Structure 1
Amino acid sequence: MKYHTGKLYWPSTLPNAAQYPALDRDLHCEVLIVGGGVGGALCAYLLAERGIDAVLVERDRIAGGSTLASTGLLQYASDKTLTSMIRTFGEEPAVHFYQLSRKALERLKQIAEGLNGAARLTERSSLYLASSERDMTSLRQECDTLQRFGFSALWWSESEIADKFPFRYPGAIYTEGDAEMNPYAFVHGVVREAVRQGGRIYERSPMRGSERDESGRIHCRCGEGRVTARHIIWATGYEAQQFKKERGAHLRASFVTVTEPAASLSSWHEQCLIWETARPYLYMRTTPDRRIIAGGLDEILPGGKLPEGREIRQSHRLLAEIQRRFPDQSHLTASYAWGAVFGESRDGLPYIGPHPNYPGFYFLEGYGGNGTVCSMIAAEMIVDELTGNRRDDLAMFSLERSSKPVPPQGL
């Protein structure tokens, strides 16, 4: 499946991205990571940090898949509100997931502090807007729920929003401590650090099959070579759906536009991350060179495939949404526009962990709009398990889970 179409912005920000060799020999390692996106990169980094011998293979180029289509908003809040999660799962697992997300966001910031240039994160506040009066009650309740469980959240009235922005909304949740990233540069920075600590990286080396021997080691045909490993981390994102379908997951099309640089962003309070309660999604952020990124307008995948050229029409709609909220940017044009495959789970949680049909494999599938944060949760859980630190809360994200996740133990 093709995972993005159109003109992508992020490669232009890192024109001299590092390249890695194709695998043309036989190797032995403790852990083989399949996939060179954000999830695979974080696994390689954590394993190298703990001194575990790991090899990462990528079918194409590092950060060349769904990472290229990410808009790089990092928030502890999920697409599914904490209030809604509590109704679905109960208080303990719902709050635990939000706590894991907050912790993962802080871990991402910590990792980024050791990286250089565009790979670093920029801390931002977030504004979650009530798109209409009918959304006010549920959004205000969500603010109260977040505050009750110790999460950063303030309620802003219509007048408080209007004092800081050139638009009016009935109300909003304002939070601090979120972040924005350049996902392409971040993944390259994380991979470079993994290599510095002993990790081995191979591009253009697709995995073509595997066999498990009597000792439990797995022999994988990758590129023009073979890798023998004790464990496999499958971090190919939505591609896993092509051979192992999760009953509660589905794929959609999402769209992004990136403007030319603005002369000024002075009307955009704190250049905070903006998102709304209305569906389909609409969210916005800025870049270090004063561009505006807007994304959303999710829709079904017609025929199960990403439509070529659809991003052009959707880009016009997204640009109009930017200009409706920021009239001072009415002259801006779109410089980049793309469409991308976007995965969601029915219950709002990622899929993480082993699967009985694939012994020795751990899967990392960060479904939802907070994919990078969920990938950080997954990478730490999987690496903990592989290094002898049992994670009982891994059961929450089981690939075979029912609608009710298993509550974490001992919390």
Structure 2
Amino acid sequence: MDLQKGKLYWNTTFSNTPSYPRLEEDIKCDVLIIGAGSSGAQSAYYLSESDLNIVIVDKRKVGHGSNLTNTALIQYLGDKMFFELVNTFGEEYAVKHMKLCEQAINDIEYADQNLPYCSDFKRRDSLYYASYEEDIKKLEKELYYLHKHDFKAAWLSEKQIGQRYPFKKRAAIYTYNDGEINPYKFTHSLLEQASNKGVHIYEDTEIVGKKLEKECAIFYTKGGNSITADKVIVAAGYEGLEFKKEKNATLISSYAIVTNPVEDLSSWYKRTLIWETARPYIYMRTTADNRIIIGGLDEDTNIAQERDS
């Protein structure tokens, strides 16, 4: 799959990355992880604490899939608003989802503190502003459920926003203790730690076929080898749909830019993560070397030529 186009940023932030071999023999394992990006690396990292024989493979180099264009704003609020989750799934499940997302940020922070090298993880607050007048009521509903279930959040009026930021918006929710990270460094650091604990990592190893048996699954590589696994985790990102179709899943295109380093970011209040209620929306963050990442404006196409035009 043609995942991205353009000059990429994250791989310029980390030189001398570890390299891993291509699979050149038939092997067996307890758990096979397909995909060595952020999700696959986190799976390998946590499973490395077990006594299981873990194998992770990727068709590319480690961290060179969509990981390279991951803007890595780590927030417990998502594209579907909290009150919308309540309406769709019920309050109990919505709250559980939100609490797990909140805990996941804590888990990422803890992992980062115990990895071989720094992944530039920083705790950041978030500003979630109303793009349109009619969106203010949506934010009011959102804040109601956040406060009801003890999430730390505050309402900012137009005046309060103007006191903190060099722009004007009618209203916003200000949430606390989100985060940002360098996903490329994080992925490599997780996998180096996992490798040190016995996880087998193979790059340039593309899966081209599979055979599902009653007791195991056999996956075949482009190089002509096989991997027999008791359990399989498909962590192939957007390409995961090539392994298992999901009738409600669709692929779209999104965009991101990274600026050159900015000399003075003092007007950016606490370097908060900034996003909006519009759909599609724009979001932004800063980086460890004082750049600004701006992303969003999704388009309903998965055709590379349309995306790149």
Residue type of the alignment partner of 2:304 = K
Q: Percent identity?
A: 41
* CA 32–299 in structure 1, closer or farther in 2 if over 3 Å, else same: same
Amino acid of the structure 1 residue aligned with 2:112: A
CA offset digits 1:259-310 (Å, max 9, x no partner): 01111100000001000112221000000111000000111216x3354644
Query: What is the aligned partner in structure 2 of residue 218 from structure 1?
Result: 217
Instruction: Name 1:92's counterpart in structure 2.
Output: 92
Bigger shift: residues 256-265 or 222-231: 222-231
Unaligned runs of 5+ in 1: 311-411
SS in 2 for 1:247: coil
Q: Structure 1 length normalisation: TM-score?
A: 0.72
Give 2:8's aligned residue.
Answer: 8
Separation of aligned partners in 1, 2:190 and 2:161: 37
- Does structure 1 retain, via aligned residues, the 8 Å contact 2:73–2:285? yes
Q: CA RMSD in A?
A: 1.6
CA distance in 1, matches of 2:244, 2:304: 18
Q: What is the letter of the counterpart of residue 234 of structure 1?
A: V
2:32 paired with 1:32: yes
Conserved in 1, the CA contact under 8 Å of 2:116 and 2:192?
Answer: no
The one-letter amino acid paired with 1:162 is: G
For normalisation by structure 2, the TM-score amounts to 0.95
Q: Give the match's secondary structure for 2:48.
A: helix
* Runs of 4+ in structure 1 over 6 Å off: none
**C-alpha distance 263-41 of structure 1, shift in aligned 2 (>3 A):** same
Task: Find out whether 1:281 has 2:281 as its counterpart.
Answer: yes
Q: 1:249 is paired with a residue of what secondary structure?
A: coil
Partner deviation per Cα, 1:51-101 (whole Å, 9 max, x = no partner): 321000111111111111110100011111111111111111111111111
The aligned length equals 308
Instruction: Map 1:337-352 to 2 at 5 A.
Output: none
Alignment of 1:251-400 (within 5 A): 251-301=251-301, 304-305=303-304, 307=306, 309-310=308-309
1:130–1:178 CA distance, 2 compared to 1 (3 A): same
Q: Give CA-to-partner distance per residue, 1:368-394, whole Å, 9 cap, x none.
A: xxxxxxxxxxxxxxxxxxxxxxxxxxx
The DSSP-based 3-state class of the residue aligned with 2:245 is: coil
Q: How many angstroms does 1:208 deviate by? A: 2.4
Q: Secondary structure at the match of 1:119?
A: coil
- Aligned 1:155-170 pairs, distance under 5 A: 155-170=155-170
Instruction: Say whether the 8 Å CA contact 1:5–1:308 is kept in structure 2.
Output: no
C-alpha deviation, 1:197, in angstroms: 1.1
Distance in structure 1 (CA, Å) of the matches to 2:279 and 2:67 = 23
CA contact (8 A) 1:23 1:224 kept: no
1:217 CA drift (Å):
2.6
Q: 8 Å contact 1:119–1:188 — kept in the other structure? A: no
Q: Post-superposition shift, 1:213? A: 4.8
Determine helix, strand or coil for the equivalent of 1:219: strand
Alpha-carbon distance in 1 for matches of 2:243, 2:51: 32
Query: How far off is 1:201 after superposition?
Result: 0.2
Distance 1:308 1:99 in 2: 35
| Deviation of the 1:232 alpha carbon | 1.2
Deviation at 1:15, TM superposition (A): 2.3
Shift of 1:150: 1.1
1:189 aligned residue = 189
Matches of 1:12 and 1:224, distance apart in 2:
33
Q: CA deviation at 1:218?
A: 2.5
Call closer, same or farther: CA 1:213–1:136 in 2, change over 3 Å.
closer
Shift of 1:117: 4.0
Q: 8 Å contact 1:254–1:297 — kept in the other structure?
A: yes
User: How far has the Cα of 1:169 moved from its partner?
Assistant: 0.6
Determine the C-alpha separation between the residues in 1 that align with 2:147 and 2:307. Answer: 44
Aligned residue identity for 1:217: C
- Structure 2: where are the runs of 5+ without partners? none
